[in-house]
Structure 1
Amino acid sequence: MMNIMTTNNLTVAIAVPLEAELVEAIRAAHPAVTVLYEPELLPQERFPADHAGDPAFVRTPEQEARYWELLNSAEVLYGFPNENPAGLAAIASSQKLQWIQAMAAGAGGAVKAANLPAADLARITVTSSAGVHALPLAEFAMMGVLNGFKRTAELAADQAVKNWPELRTPTRLASGSSVVITGLGEIGMETARLARALGMKVNGTKRNVEPIDGIEQVTDTAGLPGLVSTADVLINTLPGTPYTEKMINAEIFNAMKPGTVLVNVGRGTVVDEDALLEALNNGQVSYACLDVFAVEPLPATSPLWDHPRVMVSPHTSALSAAENRLIAERFIKNLSSFQAGEPLLHIVDPVHFY
């Protein structure tokens, strides 16, 4: 629940690693706002958009005290403290804090894990970076579709053993095929745009069913079995919530036509992995491109690692060199709305946590 108060003496604290030029961009866009940024209190990024920073970084006791003093003095935080649920739980007791801009698109999971009291959930607005990752996720999803259609796993296996098959095997066309996208939010709609550019027919699910330009059929979750019965591809973009847990399960796999390609760029908990393995082995699913898993890192004992028709990606499909800049630009716009007492974009639902 949003509880925004305007103020003429607003303080923003940068709680996570951020390039100095982006900090200066925030200051330049909002000169009346005090932006606190002390890089010596923050770990260094190991790669672009490494919001948690180097895990080997340790503050001295004096630095630790200063870090929390800085955060507790701000009405607005850029990032969760230490970029984890424990940090969020610790800062929630600050009565000054009104709004946190989270780095993750799926920030609801961290908010839920922080187990905040209802009063804090109502008092503190958390916004996610949803939408910032839409294009890289959509591009990754299209890669997964084309991998499945063009048999890249089989090609790689043949190449590894220098096998030139006597019989040539045809591939499938994306153009004219049908894709179902679970979750027609920003990521889903960007994925739909790229799918249509390849000539695919797009259907999908949405919590609130309504006609959408470019989408042939929109249903709620109850209509998913009907949609996948004629689809060539199923792409999940949904977040992990109690309502989406194992939503793509044996019932959905059994409703698919044989040979369906599955791509998951949402959250791993949405897919029942045991049911997926059965569907891969019986041919209902011909190929699975997975960037997310129910347990991460994916345990070494998981059969998904070794399955010949599965691509395992270590939850990196959303990363791009532009991510920090895009989140900072989003924050700059939201900060204007915050100061004006206007609604913020991409507020995390404090009940459903998405």
Structure 2
Amino acid sequence: MTVVTICAPLSLDPTEAIAMAVRRAGGAAEVRYEPALLPPQRFPADHTGDPAWRRPTQAEQRWQKLLAETEVAFGIPGDSPDGLRALVATAARLKWVQGTAAGTGEQLRRADLPADVARLLTVTSAAGVHARPLAEFAMFGLLAFAKDVDRLLEARDQARWPPRWPMRQLARSHVLVAGLGGIGRETARLCAAFGARVTGLRRRPSAGDMLDGPEIPGVERVVGMDELDDVLRTCDAVVAALPGTPETEGLFDGKRLAMLPSHAVVVNVGRGSVVDAAALVAALDAGRLRGAVLDVTDPEPLPSASPLWRRPNVIISPHTAALTVDEDDRIVQLFAENLERWFAGGRLRNVVNAHVGY
């Protein structure tokens, strides 16, 4: 009997969906979900929970007992590297952790688990769950500046009918999608549907894709890091959908931003650390970029003193573009599918490589 413990606050009861997956696989599991032991959500799909909440002494003892007997954890306590370290230290029988974030790999890397523990532990992420909403946000940003939303809003605020001017099109534009995970693939598909020419950037450009094979729908060409600088010079837009790793930190720095044409737009729906914030501000101030669309920043929250807040050609979402009211349901379904594969001896989806961070 495998003990499965729900370690993250949810807006729904996942036990029936999980139990059905176990039955389909012919397995045996005890699913432990005790909402009273989990911090309340502050908003939909808040898997951290209220940071001010504390368990009473008896509840904390009960919680520690649950963790000590856990073999499969759905969610990381506190949705943080510290929570993962604490979980591993308490749950001696732990074999697999299903994260609720696409960035679970980053949490694993920052947890810096002992090598012997990390080697025996399987960690999976929620990659792909946020692909559609983030791809839609990326398209919103690309369209906003192609159609000069800042000029339109300025004219509206001034009640002024300006002379006509030509707007840009996504059709026949060249978009670089940096990162070809779920978000990047969906963004590429949507860009291609608008008639854009899409180049994809990935760490290993020749690597086949488990879902799509070597060819990715909507992507005309896949390049590696060694070709990035040449590609940037011909791009009308860049959509960064990369994880936060040492390799991607500051990838789009001042030198690379300067390679883009002055009409180019930068969209970041991956991790804030991928785009050098100071270099981005400098490029915008110098008129070397048309605009920027950011769902993520570095740091987060973005300080009120940041000049990014006060620019009409910058659109900022407070890391909320991925959030949808049905996110918990989709993450539960992902976990249920993975649990069915677990009992059937199949390959799990979204297994994190601790060495590369995703």
Q: What range is the shorter-chain TM-score in? A: over 0.9
Could you tell me the TM-score, scaled by structure 1's length?
A: 0.93
Q: How far is 1:133 from its partner?
A: 0.7
SS in 1 for 2:285: helix
Q: What stretches of structure 1 move > 4 A for 4+ residues in a row?
A: none
d(CA) in 1 for partners of 2:347 and 2:64?
A: 28
SS in 1 for 2:103: coil
d(CA) in 2 for partners of 1:28 and 1:204?
A: 38
2:124 is equivalent to residue 127 of structure 1: yes
SS in 1 for 2:312: coil
d(CA) in 1 for partners of 2:240 and 2:15?
A: 34
2:28 is equivalent to residue 28 of structure 1: no
SS in 2 for 1:285: coil
SS in 2 for 1:92: helix
Q: How far is 1:20 from its partner?
A: 4.0
2:276 is equivalent to residue 279 of structure 1: no
d(CA) in 2 for partners of 1:166 and 1:195?
A: 30
**Farther-moved stretch of structure 1 (232-241 vs 89-98):** 89-98
Could you tell me the TM-score, scaled by structure 2's length?
A: 0.92
Alignment of 1:161-180 (within 5 A): 162-180=158-176
The code of the aligned residue for 2:318 comes to P
The code of the aligned residue for 2:195 comes to G
**Residue in 2 that maps onto 1:5:** none
The code of the aligned residue for 1:147 comes to A
Structure 2 residue ranges without an equivalent (≥5): 207-213
Q: 2:303 aligns with which of 299, 305, 308?
A: 299
Do the aligned residues in 1 keep the contact of 2:12 with 2:329 (CA within 8 Å)?
A: no
SS in 2 for 1:248: coil
d(CA) in 2 for partners of 1:334 and 1:291?
A: 28
2:145 is equivalent to residue 148 of structure 1: yes
Do the aligned residues in 2 keep the contact of 1:181 with 1:204 (CA within 8 Å)?
A: yes
d(CA) in 2 for partners of 1:145 and 1:166?
A: 23
d(CA) in 2 for partners of 1:125 and 1:14?
A: 16
d(CA) in 2 for partners of 1:148 and 1:251?
A: 23
Q: 2:38 aligns with which of 32, 37, 42?
A: 42
d(CA) in 2 for partners of 1:23 and 1:113?
A: 30
2:74 is equivalent to residue 70 of structure 1: no
**Farther-moved stretch of structure 1 (236-245 vs 338-347):** 338-347
d(CA) in 2 for partners of 1:302 and 1:166?
A: 31
> Any idea what the Cα deviations from partners look like across 1:180-200, whole Å, max 9, x if unmatched?
011112211110001011111
> Any idea what the Cα deviations from partners look like across 1:36-58, whole Å, max 9, x if unmatched?
01111112223221111233322
Do the aligned residues in 1 keep the contact of 2:11 with 2:41 (CA within 8 Å)?
A: no
**Residue in 1 that maps onto 2:211:** none
**Farther-moved stretch of structure 1 (15-24 vs 330-339):** 15-24
SS in 1 for 2:238: strand
Q: How far is 1:81 from its partner?
A: 1.4
d(CA) in 2 for partners of 1:237 and 1:139?
A: 13
Q: How many residues align?
A: 345
Q: 1:250 aligns with which of 254, 267, 282?
A: 254
2:328 is equivalent to residue 331 of structure 1: no
Do the aligned residues in 1 keep the contact of 2:102 with 2:125 (CA within 8 Å)?
A: yes
Structure 1 residue ranges without an equivalent (≥5): 1-8
d(CA) in 1 for partners of 2:267 and 2:308?
A: 14
d(CA) in 1 for partners of 2:351 and 2:68?
A: 22
Q: How far is 1:244 from its partner?
A: 0.5
Do the aligned residues in 1 keep the contact of 2:18 with 2:339 (CA within 8 Å)?
A: no
Do the aligned residues in 1 keep the contact of 2:135 with 2:187 (CA within 8 Å)?
A: yes
SS in 1 for 2:8: coil
RMSD of equivalent CA atoms: 1.5
